[in-house]
């Protein structure tokens, strides 16, 4: 038997419970003042949607799009593609990030946000992949840890699979690279979706 190309690691119910726990922790730590929730597109859109609804405090939501791989695929070069609309000066900021891998994207983002003099910045990351960490941005809240390449719940492989309601780990990224649509058969077209 061949190894499956991807395996569901965190099902939809488990994610929901964990997101609720994270939101409860953040709410407790915020102490009343309405925060600005900053979502890092595109990967964090689903997490932000669930997290912000679970947070249950007055909040503003804004989005930032950064690209981590500019020219030639060099990691570590981060650029703002779309900036925030809201001023974060003197505000409590919660960065809502789906996944932290090398940490380079988040480190860049935090440096940029800090320069705008917010009252505080907290980072809430759904998935932490510590094994490949290069920069060491502080993660205040972490949902899950893994060392796999993950797809689903906002996370993509070549633009695909963001709308899967669960998080799956890809066991053979090279094989998926050869056929990026391969997971549609095993994960998407599946009547008995695990949850
Ligand atoms: P960084 O390596 O921490 O800078 O992560 C850069 C970006 O790469 C993340 O914000 C994600 O968009 C993407 N990324 C990193 N790891 C994964 C993964 O396992 N699945 C899907 N996207 C990922
Ligand atoms: Mg991506």
Closest approach atom of ligand 1 to CA 170: 19
Q: How confident is the model at residue 31 (pLDDT cuts 50, 70, 90)?
A: confident
Q: Please, which residues have CB within 8 angstroms of residue 190's CB and are 6 or more apart in sequence?
A: none
- Identify which of 47, 101, 180, 187 to mutate to test ligand 1's pocket (most ligand atoms within 8 A of the CB): 101
Q: pTM for the full model?
A: 0.92
Beta bridge partners of 60: 36
| Residues 119-158: tens digit of each pLDDT | 999 999 999 999 999 999 999 999 999 999 999 999 999 9
Q: Residue 116 corresponds to which tokens in the numbers above? A: 């705008």
Q: Please, which residues have CB within 8 angstroms of residue 39's CB and are 6 or more apart in sequence?
A: 45, 47, 48, 61, 62, 63, 64, 96
| Residues 54-85: tens digit of each pLDDT | 999 999 999 999 987 645 556 667 889 999 99
């Amino acid at each position: 038997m061949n190894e499956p190309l991807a395996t569901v690691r965190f099902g939809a119910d488990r994610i929901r419970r964990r997101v609720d726990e994270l939101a409860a922790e953040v709410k407790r730590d915020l102490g009343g003042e309405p925060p600005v929730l900053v979502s890092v597109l595109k990967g964090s859109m689903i997490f932000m949607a669930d997290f912000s609804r679970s947070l249950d405090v007055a909040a503003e939501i804004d989005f930032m799009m950064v690209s981590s791989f500019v020219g030639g695929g060099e990691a570590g070069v981060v650029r703002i593609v779309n900036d925030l609309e809201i001023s974060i000066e003197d505000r409590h900021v919660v960065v809502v990030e789906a996944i932290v891998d090398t940490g380079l994207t988040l480190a860049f983002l935090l440096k940029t946000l800090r320069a705008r003099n917010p009252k505080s910045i907290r980072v809430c990351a759904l998935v932490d992949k510590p094994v490949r960490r290069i920069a060491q941005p502080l993660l205040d809240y972490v949902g899950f840890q893994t060392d796999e390449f993950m797809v689903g719940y906002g996370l993509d492989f070549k633009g695909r699979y963001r709308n899967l309601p669960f998080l799956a780990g890809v066991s053979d990224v090279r094989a998926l690279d050869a056929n990026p649509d391969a997971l549609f058969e095993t994960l998407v077209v599946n009547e008995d979706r695990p949850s």
